[in-house]
């Protein structure tokens, strides 16, 4: 039986060789032996077909930037049913895109996707091959249970974000506010710590997921928040010393639809940090929500001591980096390096978040790029590693700021 693939509005539909792929709440192939589906938040896959009983061939979804000079493609996330006790091979083709007008290749022979049977515990898939000439990535996994979730790297979903927000609302150590709404009406929320005491506490602003699919940075953010939720003495000391404000998910629309990097409107949020000139359009509403909060801090006579914009490198870039204009945050990187490896880099990009903070308010601002794979020859990072990075990032900020004051 031949198969027909159809990619419309993020829903993947395919039937053939007994395989059913479902999307948008539809289901086909009732008697299908194996079902692959993406009809859940953050789910994403391009065209797909079964070419043999245990082999599936297709591609990731390609997302074309609004200005037509970007093509992002790395993120995939699907659910598979009927896979128990079967070794299945997945072949992804057309693994190439465009970034800032240049060819973009992010898959390598060391790209290790993740698999889970409960969406809580994840393991890496290491049986992979990459054909650089054909731009083809293939991975194989022996499934132990019938239902599993497979992704490019560890997800951080809207459900996980909602759980984090609920926990923030339930603890006396934090408060939650809404800064604005996305294009599709999803809340842009902020979790605040240390705001119930002295008004002159240094303000630390941290945001994550400007770019959908960059989940390593979000998991570091989650680790930082859960540390600050805790009753640990070190967490209490930080809450007494600083006002932490964390925006966990700036791009909920892109994240919901399983987009790589962009919003659902195909906008790169980290190019939207500007004050429009006459006749120029307003920045994206997601950016405006955070920008207005920042501007209000300064209009009220306040100051932000540190702004970190958390991102993720692809699995190709086997490094963590702290990028800041004129390398002003190298001393912070030195403190982080006492806990986990990170490379300080001198970097400034027009209309980025760090550019806005540094050039508009002379702020100590930078972005943290977290590897979604590993550092060099180290083992693959786990969720526990990312959470540990978040905890020790908070402690490093304290050590850096104390040193700065002296």
Residue ranges covered by each domain of the chain: 4-151, 158-405
Task: Report pLDDT digits (tens) over 177-192.
Answer: 999 999 999 999 999 9
Cβ 355 vs Cβ 186: under 8 Å: no
The pLDDT of residue 308 is 98
DSSP helix, strand, coil percent of the chain (3-state; round to 5): 25, 30, 45
Mean pLDDT of the chain: 91
Residue 230, number of CB atoms within 10 A of its CB: 14
Query: How far is CA 63 from each of CA 72, 92, 326, rounded to the nearest angstrom?
Result: 5, 16, 33
- Report how far Cα 361 is from the mean position of its chain's Cα atoms: 27
pLDDT in tens, 80-91: 999 999 999 999
Residue 198 has pLDDT above 90, yes or no: no
Dihedral pair phi/psi, residue 307, rounded to 5°:
-130, 120
First CA to last CA across the chain, in angstroms? 73
Pair type for strands 187-193 and 243-247: antiparallel
Integer Cα distance of 229 and 352 in angstroms = 30
Residues of the chain above pLDDT 90, percent:
85
Say whether domain 4-151 belongs to CATH 2.60.40.3120: yes
Beta bridge partners of 4: 15
User: Right CATH number for 158-405 from 3.40.50.300, 3.40.640.10, 3.40.630.10, 1.10.1060.10?
Assistant: 3.40.630.10
Taking the CB of residue 249, how many other CB atoms lie within 10 A of it? Answer: 29
Q: What is the total residue count of the chain?
A: 406
pTM across the whole model:
0.93
Query: Quick one: average pLDDT of 20-32?
Result: 42
Query: What pLDDT does residue 376 have?
Result: 85
* pLDDT computed for residue 199 by the predictor: 77
Whether 78 and 36 have beta carbons less than 8 Å apart is answered as: yes
pLDDT score of 4: 28
- The residues, any chain, with a CB within 8 Å of residue 143's CB and separated by 6 or more, are 80, 83, 84, 85, 86, 87, 88, 115
Helices (H) and strands (E) in the chain, counts: 8, 25
């Amino acid at each position: 039986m031949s198969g027909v693939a159809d990619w419309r509005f993020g829903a993947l539909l395919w039937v053939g060789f007994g395989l059913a792929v479902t999307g948008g709440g539809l289901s086909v192939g009732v008697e299908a032996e194996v079902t692959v589906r993406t009809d859940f938040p953050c789910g994403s896959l391009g065209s797909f077909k079964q070419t043999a009983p245990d082999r599936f061939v297709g591609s990731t979804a390609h997302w074309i930037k609004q200005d037509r000079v970007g093509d992002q493609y790395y993120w995939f996330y699907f659910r598979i049913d009927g896979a128990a006790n079967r070794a299945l091979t997945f072949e992804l083709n057309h693994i190439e895109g465009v970034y800032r007008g240049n060819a973009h290749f992010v898959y390598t022979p060391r790209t290790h996707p993740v698999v889970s049977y409960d969406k809580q515990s994840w393991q890496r898939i290491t049986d992979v091959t990459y054909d650089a000439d054909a731009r083809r990535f293939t991975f194989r996994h022996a499934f132990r249970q019938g239902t599993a979730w497979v992704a490019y790297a560890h997800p951080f979903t809207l459900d996980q974000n909602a759980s984090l927000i609920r926990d923030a609302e339930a603890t006396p150590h934090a408060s939650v506010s809404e800064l604005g709404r996305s294009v599709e009406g999803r809340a842009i929320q902020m979790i605040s710590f240390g705001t119930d005491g002295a008004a002159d506490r240094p303000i630390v602003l941290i945001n994550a997921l400007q770019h959908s699919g960059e989940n390593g940075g979000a998991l570091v953010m989650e680790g930082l928040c859960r540390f600050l939720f805790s009753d640990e003495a070190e967490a209490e000391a930080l809450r007494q010393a600083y006002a932490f404000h964390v925006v966990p998910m700036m791009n909920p629309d892109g994240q919901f639809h399983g987009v790589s990097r962009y919003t659902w409107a195909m906008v790169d949020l980290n190019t939207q940090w500007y004050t429009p000139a006459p006749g120029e359009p307003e920045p994206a509403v997601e950016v405006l929500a955070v920008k207005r909060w920042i501007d209000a801090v300064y209009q009220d006579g306040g100051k932000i001591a540190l702004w970190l914009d958390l991102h993720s490198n692809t699995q190709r870039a086997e490094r963590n980096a702290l990028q800041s204009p004129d390398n002003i945050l190298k001393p912070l990187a030195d403190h982080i390096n006492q806990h986990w490896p990170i490379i300080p880099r001198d970097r400034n990009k027009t209309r980025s978040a760090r550019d806005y903070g540094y050039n508009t308010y002379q702020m100590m601002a930078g972005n943290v790029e977290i590897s979604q794979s590993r550092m060099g020859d180290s083992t693959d990072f786990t969720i526990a590693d990312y959470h540990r990075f978040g905890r020790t990032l908070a402690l490093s900020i304290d050590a850096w700021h104390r040193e700065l004051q002296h």
